Amino acid sequence: MKTSESTQKLFTALVAAQKGIKDPAKDGVNPHFKNKYASLESVMFTIRYALANHELMLTQAVEQKANGATLTTRIIHASGQWIEYGPMAIPSKDNNDPQKVKSGVTYMRRTQALAIMGLGESDDDGNEASKKPAPKKAAPTDAPKNDKPAGPAETADFQVSEIKKVKEASNGSKVCNLKVIDVHGEEFDVGVWGSNADKAQKHIEEGTWITIEYLEKRSWEKGDRSGTQLVSAKIIKPDLDEMDIPF
């Protein structure tokens, strides 16, 4: 920890800010463990509001190292006085994978900000940064569908990482295969069928976020290829009529 030469005004403001701050809302759900946690957006909204009311601001600087990213957080008072924490490091198992690096950075930003302000929440999103990298494998375009699973549908946001060209499936219907990534960096296969295959190509671009409702996540294997699919899924945003897996 480092500080400016004088800290009296800074610490007086920090004490006042902490009197009124509450733990951030747990607005995220870990898809693997089903635990709730406060997202980075929720954490920053809570902290920035409390600090700004007392002429304080929080900054976070990320630096990429050979063994992972480091984060340094500084709180600055309007008087110019400051206090700095870090650098904090979380090594990544695969520094060449942008998704895993991003997951680690997000984890660090949340963890350090919460610790500095003495706040609590469920620690759920650091597991992706500590995962060993898995080999990337292509998704098959045609295969018979699985039986529809039972259970309540789940809804989550995914980022489109790859869009396959529209082609005809074995049953004669058009299909547009997509690869999507969740907020923890895990990749899934989905497919848009029928007339919506053309709509998907027109209304969805790589890098954009879409909202998908699905019944479950299921692993698949075909020869030397494997992956994870979203079963019986449909796009909620943007509004496409229906969506299903190409398996």
* Domain limits, the chain: 2-117, 154-237
Q: Specify the fold of 154-237.
A: OB fold (Dihydrolipoamide Acetyltransferase, E2P) (2.40.50)
Per-residue pLDDT of 141-154, as tens digits, reads 443 344 444 457 78
Helices (H), 71-144: 98-117
Instruction: Give tens-digit pLDDT for 15-74.
Output: 998 887 878 777 666 665 566 777 888 888 888 888 988 999 999 888 877 777 788 999
- What's the pTM value of the predicted model, to 2 decimals? 0.47
Q: Are 177 and 169 in contact (CB under 8 A)?
A: no
The answer to whether residues 81 and 59 touch, using CB atoms and an 8 Å cutoff, is no
Give the distance, in angstroms, between the CA of residue 2 and the centroid of all CA atoms in the same chain.
31
